[in-house]
């Protein structure tokens, strides 16, 4: 056992950081190759969507076999050779996408196989239910909208370091639906309270949390 190895075989923080740096380097190389091929994903500023994940799931009975255009982030990936399933997450929720080489074409499927978890993509296809009963979109066209240059935390464990979660809220919101749901509910509650009081003539006044002037009846200013 080397100095950096743990008894349980888990990676040390130093080894994990090295792995993350290597993955980030590979992703940046992919971005440079895309740019060299004239396919810079960051130049795409608009993608016309017709639906969102939650709408498709909630309205499946009336949307089955309809063509939809959605966009979202790749969260999981199951490759079966000439066909793949991915979980796509947008602001409304998650939906499964079925991508087959015979439908999107060899060139698009080859490009798709170079994409990574965390990338944001656009999908056009029809709504259907798999043999296992999962509501999905059968892709006919796919495109890369934005390249994720840093890998996301492991899907099973998420972001567990509390301090890191507070420093990188954007990652926590991407990988933890329950955390995002809390933020959404908080925003909705504040909006309703504000609307309720505003209709009754109350005036909202913001109070400073940090202020240059010391205040308070018995508070003492900090000294260096």
**What is the per-residue pLDDT across 52-66, written as a single tens digit (0 to 9) for each?**
999 999 999 999 999
Q: What is the mean pLDDT of the chain?
A: 84
Indicate the domain borders of the chain.
Answer: 41-146, 162-198
Q: 41-146 in CATH: which number? A: 2.40.50.140
Instruction: Please list the residues that pair with 88 across neighbouring strands.
Output: 74, 95
Residue with the larger pLDDT of the pair 180 and 87: 87
Buried (b) or exposed (e) across 25-45, using 16+ Cβ within 10 A? eebeebbeebeeeeeebeeee
Point out the least confidently predicted range of 32-46, 115-129, 133-147: 32-46
């Amino acid at each position: 056992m080397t100095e950096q190895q743990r008894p349980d075989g888990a990676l040390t923080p130093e080894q994990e950081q090295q792995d993350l740096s290597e993955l980030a380097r590979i992703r940046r190389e992919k971005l440079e190759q895309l740019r060299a091929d004239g396919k810079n994903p960051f130049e795409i500023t608009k993608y016309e969507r017709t639906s969102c994940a939650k709408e498709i799931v909630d309205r499946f009975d009336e949307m089955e076999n309809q063509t939809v255009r959605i966009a979202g982030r790749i969260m999981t990936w199951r490759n079966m050779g000439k066909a793949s399933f991915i979980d796509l997450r947008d602001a409304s929720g998650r939906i499964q996408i079925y991508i087959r080489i015979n439908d999107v074409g060899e060139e698009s499927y080859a490009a798709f196989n170079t994409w990574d978890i965390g990338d944001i993509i656009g999908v056009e296809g029809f709504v259907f239910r798999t043999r296992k009963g999962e509501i999905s979109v059968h892709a006919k066209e796919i495109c890369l909208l934005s390249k994720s240059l840093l890998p996301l935390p492991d899907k099973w464990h998420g972001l567990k370091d509390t301090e890191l979660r507070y420093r990188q809220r954007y990652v926590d919101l991407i990988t933890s639906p329950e955390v995002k749901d809390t933020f959404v509910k908080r925003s909705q509650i504040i909006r309703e309270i504000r609307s309720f009081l505003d209709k009754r003539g109350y005036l909202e006044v913001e109070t400073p949390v940090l202020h240059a002037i010391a205040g308070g009846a018995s508070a003492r200013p900090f000294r260096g």
